[in-house]
Amino acid sequence: MKGKPPKNFNPTLLVLSAPSGAGKTTLARKFLEKHPDFGVSVSYTTRPPRKGEKDGVHYYFTDPETFQEMITRNAFVEWARVHDAWYGTPFSEIERLHSEGKGILFDIDIQGGVNIFKAYPDRTLLVFILPPSMEELERRLRNRKTDDEKTIEKRLKNAQKEISIARDKYDYFLVNEDLDLALKELEMIAALHGEG
């Protein structure tokens, strides 16, 4: 789902999406370390925090009732149910980073990326991160040791769907086999569009 953007908004929006386990969050973190002119949009979610995640840094962790109330208030530029939890990008994060004069990096799922593009088509750059292979994706998911077998199978099935959707909707595909090389490629993509 998507909301309606406030008037007079024109921030740079760099959207990174990927199947779970493709290394999107690590790549986003490395990009932000090298590019202080970008800030990260922190999403809301109803899923519980993973080990080491901090509220307000990795996500704003909330309950389903509060999340639904935010949808009613039109607080999100986009929201979706992914892997049995709700995720949403609040307009307040775009406003905060825009007021700081920063480009905005989104580390979000493909549904969210498409909806951000619909809300801000002239300023959105959609980049889809791919694993080197589906076998490598499965290996990474298993090595994380955060999901049970049923969840891993669900994530692998969803990955196939996401890749298919991204083929039609996303501007760039970037294979994350070597993190340093993937980071250089992401920087080149951002530079081509006048940012970074």
Per-residue three-class SS string for the chain? CECCCCCCCCCCEEEEECCCCCCHHHHHHHHHHHCCCEEECCCEECCCCCCCCCECCCEEECCHHHHHHHHHCCCEEEEEEECCEEEEEEHHHHHHHHHCCCEEEEECCHHHHHHHHHHCCCCEEEEEEECCCHHHHHHHHHHHCCCCHHHHHHHHHHHHHHHHHHHHHCCEEEECCCHHHHHHHHHHHHHHCCCC
Does residue 7 form part of some domain? no
Note the pLDDT of residue 99: 87
Number of alpha carbons in the 13 Å side-chain half-sphere of residue 159: 22
When pLDDT is cut at 50, 70 and 90, the band that residue 47 belongs to is: very high
- 37 in any annotated domain: yes
pLDDT in tens, 8-45: 444 589 999 999 888 898 999 999 999 998 998 899 99
pLDDT for residue 20: 84
Range of the domain at 51: 13-192
* Partners of 107 in beta bridges: 16
Contact 88, 111 (CB under 8 A): no
153-189 residue pLDDT tens: 988 998 999 999 999 999 999 999 999 999 999 999 9
Of the candidate ranges 64-68, 85-89, 97-101, the one whose mean pLDDT is the lowest: 97-101
Q: What is the pLDDT of residue 8?
A: 46
pLDDT recorded at residue 193? 74
87, part of any domain: yes
Reported as a pLDDT band with limits 50, 70 and 90, residue 64 is very high
2 assigned to some structural domain: no
The token pair that represents 122 in the structure block: 């002239």
Decide if 4 is inside a domain: no
| Burial group, residue 8, by CB count within 10 angstroms (0-12, 13-18, 19+) | exposed
Inside any domain, residue 33:
yes
Predicted local distance difference test score (pLDDT) of residue 9:
40
Q: What predicted TM-score, i.e. pTM, was given to this entire model?
A: 0.80
Domain count, the chain: 1
Res. 119: pLDDT tops 70: yes
Q: Is the pLDDT of residue 195 over 90?
A: no
Task: Assess if residue 163 is contained within a domain.
Answer: yes
Q: In CATH, what number is assigned to the domain containing residue 126? A: 3.40.50.300
End-to-end CA distance of the chain: 30
Decide if 114 is inside a domain.
Answer: yes
For the chain, give the mean pLDDT: 88
- In this predicted structure, what is the pLDDT of residue 182? 95
The pLDDT of residue 5 is 46
